[in-house]
Structure 1
Amino acid sequence: MTGLRYVYAVCRPFELPLQSQLTGIGGAPPGMLHHHGLVAVVSSVPEADFSEEALKAHLEDLDWLAATARAHQGVVDALSTVTTPLPLRLATVFHDDSAVRSMIEAREADFRRILDRLAGRVEWGVKVYLEPEAEPAEDAPATAKPASGRDYLRRRRERSHAQEDKWQRAERFAQSLHEQLVGQAEDARIHAPQNSALSAAPGQNVLNAAYLVPRRRSEEFVELVDRTKDEEPGIRVELTGPWAAYSFTGEESGEES
């Protein structure tokens, strides 16, 4: 292979084949670099796109980032069907195979420890949203105009209190659900709420959490989430997964050279 080496994940050697038509970044099929009993899943990428300066420019290109993230996740998801991968961060690149081997040697103990911990486990994502209020129908009678400034302020206070009550109810629901799910999981991570301006999901994100669950207990976990979906009117619960355990790798930053 030529160009820089893009590393998707590290895993242990596996025997089952990956999907025959699987492609990674730039449409190239991923390869396996074996070293010290571990496997780096890699592909060749052009330096023109993945050098340090090029990546800085690409951070402003949301379409490029989205396409790269989809290709990266596609490889990791395929690995998840045949082994337990430890995903590396998006755009982890090295000059050549020798640099990838050096990275494996430098982080070997951590890789083995994390892979042992993640073996046979998957990540499920759960989000709780406070649904947006329905828009009044076009033929609904118009709300009477406030009779005075005092009346206007009173109505504003009432709307504010009503919204606060809904938010507190959603928070109590989310906290109760989280405590139940933690009981079914081996670990959990609470992420920052999604920005409604950047997300296509309607409503206010109250809970954005990830759960590390043994595969054998995933059915119980999913059933528990499903039972809560219609418990509270005006509150929406979304379940995603199973994924590779992105939130539990400790992969805060990649090694780049």
Structure 2
Amino acid sequence: MSAYMSYSYAVTRADASLEESLSQMRGVAEGPVRLVRAQGLAVVVSPVPEEDFGETALKARLEDLDWLESVARAHHAVVEAVFARTAVLPLRLATLHLDDNRVRDMLDRRADEFAWLLDQLAGHVEWGVKVYALPPAPGSPEPAAVSAAADTSPGRDYLRSRQRQRRSGEDAWRAAHDAVLRIDAAARGLAVDRVQHRLQEGELATGPGYNVSNNAYLVPRERGEEFQSQLLGAAESLDGIRVDITGPWAPYSFTASDDTDDAQETHREGGAEAETTERKAGTQ
């Protein structure tokens, strides 16, 4: 018989009606979703097979992006189902305990912290804002080099070309920096908190350009449309910049650090990739 672990999705307040609404839901690995209660709070959990989610197996699985995406989709679906009904503290992807008793112990230890966070986050949502510096369009004209005919030579032409490229790159990054400051100022005029995430590169980056800012903002739910409008307005006149706004999300970036008893949570080196995969799964 396979051994099972408790996969934890989120912390919320204990609620019989919530538990009933989740009773028909399936989570990661098709496990039935339920609540583990303590001190008026609850962790949303489901069972997962230890052979796939034990520490050694999990480290290997995190390298499989297809598997990781399927877990992220299921994780996100459960968190959003809870968030649609009440305040929630999403836990990190692949937060695991050996059993429900360990989950309950964690709730007992951190009940005051979780209750305070739930009060702070009630009525708020998370918006993601990424700023990208766009490369020059192919065939864009370069400033003409002014030089005497006597100064023209293949070597000098090459050096001038390199100087123009360097100046162009410096100008682009300076413009991107100014754009980030402008967009952040507009966002923070409405947000109550901000978290700066690691810049996205390689497969984690989406669309054209180089990611120069990757922030999450905590915004009152009723001001979401105003938030989008303000940021799009701030970005409208900025050349060479792309702004990607996603949300509203459950407040993934503003919850407490995860707590596991056996170092079973997503290892930190793969955490950013897992978090981004989770976010992508929710938007597709």
TM over 0.5: yes
Which range is displaced more, 194-203 or 91-100? Answer: 194-203
Code of the residue aligned with 2:77 in structure 1: it is G
Matches within 5 A, 1:130-169: 130-136=133-139, 147-169=153-175
Structure 2 spans left out of the alignment, 5+ residues: 142-151, 263-284
Distance 2:203 2:58 in 1: 25
Query: Per-residue deviation at 1:154?
Result: 1.0
Q: Which residue pairs with 1:171 in the alignment?
A: 177
Please state if 1:220 is matched with 2:226: yes
Query: Does structure 2 retain, via aligned residues, the 8 Å contact 1:121–1:215?
Result: yes
Code of the residue aligned with 2:98 in structure 1: it is H
Query: Per-residue deviation at 1:19?
Result: 6.9
- Secondary structure at 1:84 match in 2: coil
Q: Which residue pairs with 1:97 in the alignment?
A: 100
Please state if 1:128 is matched with 2:134: no
Instruction: Calculate percent identity across the aligned residue pairs.
Output: 46
Distance 1:197 1:156 in 2: 29
Which range is displaced more, 13-22 or 177-186? Answer: 13-22
Q: What is the TM-score of this pair, normalised by structure 1?
A: 0.89
Query: Does structure 2 retain, via aligned residues, the 8 Å contact 1:190–1:208?
Result: yes
Query: Per-residue deviation at 1:6?
Result: 0.6
Code of the residue aligned with 1:83 in structure 2: it is T
Query: Does structure 2 retain, via aligned residues, the 8 Å contact 1:33–1:41?
Result: yes
| Number of equivalences | 249
Query: Does structure 2 retain, via aligned residues, the 8 Å contact 1:189–1:210?
Result: yes
Runs of 4+ aligned residues of structure 1 deviating over 3 Å after TM superposition are 14-22
Q: Relative to total residues, which structure has the larger helix share, 1 or 2? A: 2
Query: Per-residue deviation at 1:182?
Result: 0.8
Query: Per-residue deviation at 1:18?
Result: 4.1
Residue of structure 2 aligned with 1:249, choices 233, 250, 255 = 255
Residue of structure 1 aligned with 2:81, choices 78, 81, 88 = 78
Question: Alpha carbons of 1:197 and 1:31: their partners in 2 closer, same or farther (altered >3 Å)?
Answer: closer
Query: Does structure 1 retain, via aligned residues, the 8 Å contact 2:28–2:46?
Result: yes
- Secondary structure at 1:72 match in 2: helix
Distance 1:209 1:152 in 2: 39
Structure 1 spans left out of the alignment, 5+ residues: 141-145
Residue of structure 1 aligned with 2:33, choices 7, 12, 30 = 30
- Secondary structure at 2:93 match in 1: coil
Q: What is the TM-score of this pair, normalised by structure 2?
A: 0.81
Query: Per-residue deviation at 1:197?
Result: 5.3
Cα RMSD (Å) of the superposition?
Answer: 2.3
Code of the residue aligned with 1:11 in structure 2: it is T
Distance 1:42 1:238 in 2: 32
